[in-house]
A and B are shown apart, each in its own frame.
Chain A
């Protein structure tokens, strides 16, 4: 029995006279909880899965190839589409790669604007992640509450860059525009409102008995496994590995800011289970609030965009830039041959590493647990396929 290229072996177990057969389910690409167009070929014995094989490529848009054709400045809007749930870190990765190749110094205020936008983007992405996770577990209410807060952030970001989904704020050499007047006060007012709301979400869902029962102890990833499978970001930190690019390989103005790196402690189940990955995201939102508040307080004056030639031609060479996106360490490997088009671009994303682990994690889980695992790894389809 073949399912679109997957030779799934049908096992007939003859138990006395009753012959049983595994059920092969095609979950996705159109399925309510695959977060975009993902597909899993699930081999299940009733409710218990033997294996779930991820099938990707439904959202492949050749973004890396496009970079070779549109030039350095022209590629900036495409980076939003790499991960449309958290677009700012992708912007930043591309801008940083180009700046490093050409040796451009970004003005201080520009760096601060970038960090503010990136951290808002992180909160924005984590809200969607925890909200849809609750929805996948069956509680629809936290999702709408998370989306409500996300709308405020959308409004704030819209004032900054004019877009509500594919934010495109950064440019090579800084950011496109300065923050609008009175935006700083609005952002501070919003952070003041949002921080207590994280406690409300905790009361609303995080420690709900059923929710914890569904997540704690499900699909634990040991720290060794997490490192071996190259997990990054909240998925890695959920397993208790304290690694954050912002802290361990600091870029931009992160060395000047004070923040903690929350890690999973296995407080309600095993270390590295779905609940740990969830709660790490909740705590990261708090840290992001801290970072934004510091940035808004320390915001220096001056220009936001360095002088960059219109016909941007960085000298030949290559560089690898790491940024901490909402889904973890995002790597940009960019090769320049000295022309106005990049020679090669390769993006390394967190979701791709995470989805490769699902086949291993899914053994002997229930189908309902697979949903929890997908949600807790925070898979975003465009980031996997690019």
Chain B
């Protein structure tokens, strides 16, 4: 933020500089929370439901507003107006507090999350550490909700959630360290500054180890965000709705807002650490025009981050759920060892790999990724060709269609 304030004043500012910084931070913080985070979490529900509709061969919300876009607002208003039920035998104080803990765990993360260019509420020198720390506040909230509901299904959900989030913090943290070692800093802005706009200059393609670390981090982050295939704390078909079973109205909404908002947090961290942040081509030429450069950087950062939100949504509506023991096996037997290998491998790579060959490795990894994506697109085309889903009349019913469908 300081950077932005500095670039706005050409001469010495009329008021003390620290006041300008503070005002800018508070203003931007307010804009971020009320103008970005909450609407973004809300619209993500709409995006998710539309995508789910496509995947599931149905329509999704399409009545409220253009293409159903206002559905999230309607749902929000409905939730606010609903009765806020506290079960008789629940621990009322904890029960009421839990959603706020979960919500603050997710909103606080935005303090250190960049939005592209100089846009960041506070570029803490322990940025990434801070984000991982506050996001684990969510587990406290879910455990509180599970315990205080006085419902056995909720309790099981809360305990599953605690086990899951605490376990997956480890591979997630270990996958962040290679990037921290590479950059030599924990601050989000310095991590972004260490990369460029070209894909091959991203940390993702630095070495095979960071390449693998990216996937380990994304999987662990999904597990921390309680998303399918790791949505065991909710597990609708097993635990009814897990830790949130007894919640209604606005408190229920807060939990889900945190869940959808957390998706964006995952995307933003991934973009910052591995995908070059909000760099755009020709930044140096636009250095003197912050009003043009900053929005472009914001858009670049947002698109990269939101891509991962969409990937997470797509995974959710595609994959089944794994079992509790399989989840633990995956974490401790696969992800944690792989993350350790990455950590040590990156260290050795940094010390022993000749810097002259580095561009070659980056180019090779980028090419490999492009090939992977091409193969993937071909696979999708294969499936579309073999699906043989011709457009049929929607019904055989003679009342709705007279023709023989084909």
Contact = CB atoms under 8 A, between A and B. Distances in A.
Contacts of A155: 395-397
Interface stretch (A189-197, A273-281, A302-310): A189-197
A366 interface: yes
A50 B221 CA distance: 33
Nearest to A33: B237
Contacts of A47: 156, 160, 324-325
Considering residues A144, A151, A197, A371, which has the most beta carbons from chain B within 10 angstroms of its beta carbon? Answer: A144
A185 B405 CA distance: 10
Measured as residues with beta carbon below 8 angstroms from the partner, the interface class of chain B is: 35 or more
Interface in A139-174: 139-141, 144-145, 148, 151-152, 155-156, 158-159
Given A189-B405, A205-B320, A213-B322, A25 B152 contact: yes
A379 B145 CA distance: 33
Nearest to B316: A140
Nearest to A164: B397
A210 B396 contact: no
Nearest to A134: B320
Nearest to B326: A213
A12 interface: no
A190 B396 contact: yes
B291 interface: no
A137 B321 contact: yes
A182 interface: yes
Contact of A148 (B55, B57, B152, B160): B57
A138 B396 contact: no
Contact of A368 (B58, B235, B390): B235
B367 to A, nearest CB: 27
A186 B237 contact: no
A32 interface: yes
Interface in A103-161: 134-141, 144-145, 148, 151-152, 155-156, 158-159
Given A47-B156, A189-B406, A203-B383, A138 B392 contact: no
Given A200-B386, A203-B383, A368-B238, A140 B396 contact: no
A189 B396 CA distance: 11
B229 A189 contact: no
Considering residues B323, B387, B388, B390, which has the most beta carbons from chain A within 10 angstroms of its beta carbon? Answer: B323
Considering residues A23, A47, A211, which has the most beta carbons from chain B within 10 angstroms of its beta carbon? Answer: A47
10 contacts: A23-B152, A135-B237, A138-B231, A140-B317, A141-B55, A186-B404, A189-B405, A205-B320, A210-B322, A214-B322
Given A31-B240, A47-B324, A136-B237, 6 more contacts: A138-B320, A140-B56, A158-B397, A210-B321, A213-B322, A367-B239
Interface of A: 23, 25, 31-33, 46-47, 134-141, 144-145, 148, 151-152, 155-156, 158-159, 182, 185-186, 189-190, 193, 196-197, 199-200, 203, 205, 208, 210-211, 213-214, 366-369, 371
